[in-house]
Amino acid sequence: MNQAAGGKSVWSRRALLRNLIVLTGAGVSSSLLKYGAGGIPEILGQAGAARGGRGAAAARGTRLIMLGTQGGPNVNLMRAETSNVVVADGQPYLVDCGYGAVRGLVEAGIPLPSVQNVFLTHLHDDHTVDLAALLSLKWTGGNNVPQPVAVYGPYGTKAMVDGAIAFFKANADIRIVDEGRSVRPEAVFAGHDLTAATVTEVFRDERVTVKAVENAHFPDRAKEKMPYRSFAYRFDTPDRSIVFSGDTPYSASLVELARGADYFVCEAMTLGSRQQFAGNAGGANGGGESIGRHVLETHSSTEDVGRMATEAKVKTVVLYHLVPGANRGNATDDIYISEVRKTFDGPVIVGRDQLRIPQD
Ligand SMILES: [Zn+2]
Ligand SMILES: [Zn+2]
């Protein structure tokens, strides 16, 4: 059903458009001609990009844009939490949505209304916490015709999306009454629980094919006690293949998924950082011991990254989910690179927020 066809909503929309033109002048009206019926959100998105962003992604071909490269639940002002976008022929596919992802999209020049497919590697909050903000802002910014969004991920993703919608129910109820909106969030936003015990195609459209597989982030003893799982993803387009490790230690399934990929985007922890966590694991504090053990068992050292890259024969390694990341101490880019190159001969790129691969 085309919600814009309703009399009152069309009037409100036209009034809003008219006001926008009055307020901002001829630039907006030419944008309206360009963007047509879905104009308001696109205009607002483009305006935001023009103020602080990098401009829209390339119209043709495939590009990786890193939005957040900090490893773990660590809010800081240098790196956002984990999030990446694959842009294929101008269409964004968001992979994880940690804190800072929404601002990162704006900075990258990607209008929020254009984000219609989201893939979650797993449901730790450093990969998901901006999802409620993203959906709420998309619904509110989407005027009467918010674009649909499908969120894909392991078990619990559907419940998380339902919870995000519950989070902004009051906002939706108020605006439905007060602004004459007619599309409820649950009509356009949906979560989908995937299973991928072995390499499995989970999504396909005219631009990309997406495969997933369970990685090794959650140890077997944890999986016995819970239904939650953790994925790696592979995006194949006509011109590129990009693999995201998600969070994981060495994983034979990830090696299989990544075979021959152009870009192996892999989480990485320096050897020095691992030694620090090993120290915590042996410490007197019970909580510290558990967290230290968790970090060591469930994440990849730089040497693990190189080993998987070599076994999978990938062309280029891109490091993300960096630990220590912002709290880098002596962990310069050269340290990450030299440690990976102990076990991998090819090119290594240390990720940073807003890095575009390839560059403009
Ligand atoms: Zn993480
Ligand atoms: Zn995690």
Which one-letter amino acid corresponds to residue 348? V
Tens-place pLDDT, residues 288-334: 567 788 888 999 999 999 999 999 999 999 999 999 988 766 689 99
Of 208, 261, 259, 211, give the one whose Cα is nearest residue 232. 211
Q: Which residues surround ligand 2, an ion (CB under 5 A)?
A: 124, 247
Of 229, 224, 234, give the one whose Cα is nearest residue 248. 229
Which of 70-74, 83-87, 188-192 bottoms out in mean pLDDT, i.e. has the lowest? Answer: 70-74
54 band by pLDDT with thresholds 50, 70 and 90: low
In angstroms, the CA 33 to CA 15 distance is 16
In angstroms, the CA 156 to CA 198 distance is 19
Contact in structure between 205 and 92 (CB atoms under 8 Å) = no
Torsion of CA 319, 322, 324, 327, to 10 degrees: 110
Given this model, what pLDDT does residue 164 score?
Answer: 98
Task: Show me where the domains of the chain are located.
Answer: 1-52, 59-357
Q: How many CA atoms are closer than 13 Å to the CA of 194, on its beta-carbon side?
A: 28
3-state secondary structure 317-336: EEEEEEECCCCCCCCCHHHH
Ligand 2: centre distance to CA 172 (Å): 31
Ligand 2: centre distance to CA 292 (Å): 13
Contact in structure between 236 and 250 (CB atoms under 8 Å) = no
Q: Which one of the ligands is nearest to 228 CA? A: 2
Ligand 1: centre distance to CA 123 (Å): 9
Tens-place pLDDT, residues 2-16: 333 333 333 344 333
3-state SS assignment for residue 58:
coil
In angstroms, the CA 245 to CA 234 distance is 9
**Residue 113, Cβ neighbours under 10 Å: how many?**
21
- Mean per-residue pLDDT for 262-267? 98
59 band by pLDDT with thresholds 50, 70 and 90: confident
In angstroms, the CA 116 to CA 151 distance is 8
> pLDDT at residue 277 above 80?
yes
- Mean per-residue pLDDT for 141-155? 88
143 band by pLDDT with thresholds 50, 70 and 90: low
User: What distances in angstroms separate CA 160 from CA 38, 122, 163, 165, one per listed residue?
Assistant: 28, 11, 5, 9
- For the chain, what is the mean pLDDT? 84
The helix (run of H) or strand (run of E) holding residue 303 is: helix 302-312
Tens-place pLDDT, residues 93-120: 999 999 999 999 999 999 999 999 999 9
Ligand 1: centre distance to CA 321 (Å): 7
User: What distances in angstroms separate CA 57 from CA 61, 108, 261, one per listed residue?
Assistant: 10, 8, 22
Which of 59-63, 163-167, 301-305 bottoms out in mean pLDDT, i.e. has the lowest? Answer: 59-63
End-to-end CA distance of the chain: 39
Contact in structure between 350 and 319 (CB atoms under 8 Å) = yes
Ligand 1: centre distance to CA 73 (Å): 7
Q: Which one of the ligands is nearest to 71 CA? A: 1
- For residue 51, with 0-12 CB atoms within 10 Å meaning exposed, 13-18 middle and 19 or more buried, which class applies? exposed
3-state SS assignment for residue 191:
strand
What's the CATH fold of domain 59-357?
Metallo-beta-lactamase; Chain A (3.60.15)
Which one-letter amino acid corresponds to residue 176? I
Which one-letter amino acid corresponds to residue 154? P
Tens-place pLDDT, residues 217-242: 999 999 999 999 999 999 999 999 99
